[in-house]
Structure formats: C-alpha cells, structure tokens
Amino acid sequence: MHSPNERINNPLNPVGVPDNRFPDPHIKIFVNPDTGREAMYVYVGHDEGRDKFIMRDWYVLWSEDLVTWHCSKSLERRNTYLPEDSVDCWACDCVQSPFDGRYYLYYSHGGESTGVAVSDRPDGPFVDARGKTPILPKGITPTNSYDPDILLPDEEDPHAYILFGSDWTDHYWAMQLDETMTSVVPGTAVKVPVYPADGTPTELLGVLRSDQAEAFRYGDRWYLYWAGRYAVSDKRLGPYIFRGNIGADIPHYPDGRAFIDHGSFLEWNGQWFYAVSQGLESWSYRQSWLMYLHVCDDGTLMFDEDVRRCGVGSYCAEWDRIEAECYMRIDEPALRKIELREAEKHTGFAIAQEAGVQEAYYPHVYGMAENLKLTLCVCSGADAAVTVLVDGAEAGTAELNDSCGAWREVSLSLKNPAGEHDVTMRLQGCVTLDWFRFSC
C-alpha cells in the first residue's frame, strides 16, 4: 500500500492551523448550516503541555470529505463555570437534541465535574446552558464526574443518558437527561459494569485503568470502548463483557494501556469510522487520528494499520492495492462489507452483493496516469460485471461470466484522464470485490 508519492492524512490537520495537538475526539455527523450538506464534526481539546495536561479551551474540527479540515474554537473558558486561569479543559461531547434541535456540548472540568453549553450551530460558538454551574458536580456518584458520552433516545429506549466516570475510582456510571438536555433526572444514577470474558458477575477492575468511555450500537450489539479496550452487551447500560484491546499492536503506556485514548465511533454512508487520540512524544501531547472501522462476524473490532498511518478519504493510484472495504460510500443495504476469514488466501474484508446494480465510491484518487490498467480481485457468479466510473463517466467494464465462484484477478484497460479523480465501482450481479490496483 505504500508509495513515495502518497499523502498522509493522519493526524487530522486543519487548514491554516500550525499546531494540530487536538486530542479526545468525539465524532458526529451534522448538517453544515453554511452549505446544507452533511459533514463530520470532531469535538476536541487542545494539548499545550508536554509533561502534564495543559488544556485551555475546546475546539471543533469539521470536514465534508474527511480530507480538507477546518477548525474553530467552539467553547471558551469565560463562557463556562471554570476559573479564567484554568488549564483543565478536558474531554467533551456534542449532540443535537431530539427535543429542541439545538446543539449541546458537554465538557469536563479536569477530572472533577462536567458542564453543558448550547449553540444553534454544530460548530458553535457555545455558551454555558446552566448559568455557569455543572450538570454533573463532583460527588454526584462515587466515580469521577467527568469525560461525558451522550446516548440519545432510540427505538428501544426513549430516554437520553450521560455516561461518565473513571476506573480510577468507581468505574463508569450513567444518569438520565431530562428533555432540556441541561439537567440529570434525580434518582436515575446507575453503574455500568464490565465483567470478565468468562462471564463471572464480578466487575472487571484494575485492567481498565482509564477514563472516557464511549458506548455505540452496531446491529443488535452494544459496545463500550475506552483507551483501546472494549466490551460488548445486548443493552446500552450493560452489563458489558470484556472482549479485548483494539490497539494491541500500538506502543503502550508503562502500565500496559495502549498508547491511544478517547476513541469515538460512528457510521456514515455505509462506512464505519473510528477516531482516536494518540500520543507520540508524550502521553500529554496528543493528536487525533481517523480510520475505517471493520467488525468481524464474531464482533471483534479491527482497523487497518496502513489506513491508520495514511488516513481516510483519499487514495493513491500508486499503492500496491486499494482495499475495497475502505470505501467512502456504498449503496445500501444490498451492497455490504463482509469478512473473508473462511476464504483460502483471502482474509480480512471485502464488499459483496448477491444481485442488482450497486456502487462503491472512492473519491480523491490521486496520481492517476492517463488510460491506466486496472486489476480487480473478484469472486462472482455468472452474468456479473464491474463497471469503473471516473468522475461519473464510464471508463471501462470487466465482464465476469464465471459460475464457479472462484477468486481470480481480472484486468481491464481504462479510458481516463490523468490527475486526481473520483472513482466509482459499479457492481452488477453476484460479485465480491476484495481489492483493486491501478498500473500503467
């Protein structure tokens, strides 16, 4: 996948910002009020200290293509209950209220408490929504009342919750939010336990050793993630069963934690994304990275190390191959991402459909020479085909008339201009596409 001419899109690097030390990302999809199009918004802090946490304000990064990022200060200390000289502007989360449509930013005052601010725009500016008093004061539960994660109502539960806490004290807790989104409902505090993988009904403490957790739903399974680790449950508030560490191959802290923290997950246009902090020079001087997330049939969470390094949203025509599952958009639900663990010599993931005509979209393919050759690694049924579109115009078609369903490499010549272009794979019939490669 490597190329001397490739672009590196990780860590996230907003236009015109020389210091991109933005940690603790929470990623959300909102409509950009200036363009009317959906965009990803990343709510972050800003690290200034190399040997201790120095964080003075909160920021938001946003992008419509996940390649070009913009940045602004979303919340200033003077608009909160924090002291003016505070350097404890820790992790935050933002949601659009299902009740009044406004945007609520939940922010940490160090490891002590949590506040809430409000804005009419997803990028702010936000102002304190409670008269500069915390929504989660210190001592409201036995755990630390900070590092919030907001769970909105869904078809199974009409209530919104704020999830918070730390294994350093009494693990994670949740409280119900009222419809103003600015107050918790008294008497609703509940611990969110994590049990060992063997199912022993004893809370799993000691190995967690972290703070901010995020809960998200994938299919009928709930995930609780923290500092590279994750657990699963069939209920949003648990109990959760510990599964493992998504960051097992990344350099670690001395106590064994992955040298990553504060992860966030979401689905957009049929693709799952994973944002995470990573400390390179020190644990207190971090940046945010964005990757594609893949989920195995057994629920294991995976990401591609090459994508972690190069980022999402663009592709180099000189790479050894472009993995088909690393699309930016697919037609759903007929076209889907699948695991290939059962296929001989084809492990990992692919995209597949059983019938019909659907498309997978790969924008910003750069370094394309004119009239390239394209090789597809495919498995198909009879009367199938893959048509390649470059900037929406048909550039070539591979006819796949094979009823055997065996893996093979198929090549075709494209009619395409040189430069950077958007590439679409249009699948027809029963087709599984593992990867594709450009060559001259």
CATH number of the domain bearing residue 351: 2.60.120.260
Q: Are residues 149 and 218 located together in one domain of the fold?
A: yes
With respect to residue 382, please indicate whether it lies within any of the assigned structural domains.
Answer: yes
Give the pLDDT confidence of 19-68 residue by residue, as tens digits: 899 999 999 999 999 999 999 999 999 999 988 999 999 999 999 999 99
With respect to residue 11, please indicate whether it lies within any of the assigned structural domains.
Answer: no
Q: Are residues 391 and 300 located together in one domain of the fold?
A: no
Q: Are residues 73 and 146 located together in one domain of the fold?
A: yes
Among 265, 290, 310, give the residue marking a domain's end: 310
Question: What is the model's pLDDT at position 285?
Answer: 86
Among 310, 337, 354, give the residue marking a domain's end: 310
Among the ranges given (53-67, 123-137, 231-245, 414-428), the one the predictor scored with the smallest mean pLDDT: 231-245
With respect to residue 268, please indicate whether it lies within any of the assigned structural domains.
Answer: yes
Q: Are residues 189 and 46 located together in one domain of the fold?
A: yes
Cα separation, 237 vs 179, in Å, equals 19
Q: If you average pLDDT over residues 324-347, what whole number do you get?
A: 85
Q: Are residues 304 and 323 located together in one domain of the fold?
A: no
Q: Are residues 385 and 407 located together in one domain of the fold?
A: yes
The total number of structural domains that make up the chain: 2
- Domain ranges, residue 351: 316-439
With respect to residue 271, please indicate whether it lies within any of the assigned structural domains.
Answer: yes
With respect to residue 238, please indicate whether it lies within any of the assigned structural domains.
Answer: yes
Among 260, 293, 310, give the residue marking a domain's end: 310
Q: Are residues 351 and 238 located together in one domain of the fold?
A: no
CB proximity list for 399: less than 8 A, separation 6 or greater: 385
Read off the pTM: 0.94
pLDDT at 97 over 90: yes
Question: What is the model's pLDDT at position 2?
Answer: 67
Q: Of residues 211 and 356, which shows the higher confidence score?
A: 356
Average pLDDT value over all residues in the chain? 91
Give the pLDDT confidence of 187-217 residue by residue, as tens digits: 999 999 888 887 676 766 555 567 789 999 9
Cα separation, 387 vs 397, in Å, equals 4
With respect to residue 397, please indicate whether it lies within any of the assigned structural domains.
Answer: yes
Q: Are residues 134 and 102 located together in one domain of the fold?
A: yes
Phi, psi of 307 (to 5 degrees): -70, -35
Give the pLDDT confidence of 120-171 residue by residue, as tens digits: 999 999 999 999 999 999 999 999 899 999 999 999 999 999 999 986 777 8
Q: How many CB atoms lie within 10 A of CB 362?
A: 20
Give the pLDDT confidence of 361-408 residue by residue, as tens digits: 999 999 999 999 999 999 998 889 999 999 999 999 999 987 677 899
pLDDT at 358 over 70: yes
Q: Are residues 280 and 392 located together in one domain of the fold?
A: no
CATH number of domain containing 72: 2.115.10.20
Question: What is the model's pLDDT at position 341?
Answer: 73
Q: How far is CA 326 from the centre of its chain?
A: 13
With respect to residue 1, please indicate whether it lies within any of the assigned structural domains.
Answer: no
Q: Which two tokens stand for residue 236?
A: 């949003």
With respect to residue 18, please indicate whether it lies within any of the assigned structural domains.
Answer: no
b/e sequence 302-331, b meaning 16+ C-beta within 10 Å: ebbeebbebbbbbbbbbbeebbbbbbbebb
pLDDT at 248 over 70: no
Q: Which two tokens stand for residue 326?
A: 């690393």
Q: Are residues 250 and 334 located together in one domain of the fold?
A: no
Give the pLDDT confidence of 298-316 residue by residue, as tens digits: 999 998 888 888 999 999 9
Question: What is the model's pLDDT at position 15?
Answer: 94
Q: Are residues 162 and 298 located together in one domain of the fold?
A: yes
Percentage of the chain surpassing pLDDT 90? 74
Q: Are residues 292 and 335 located together in one domain of the fold?
A: no
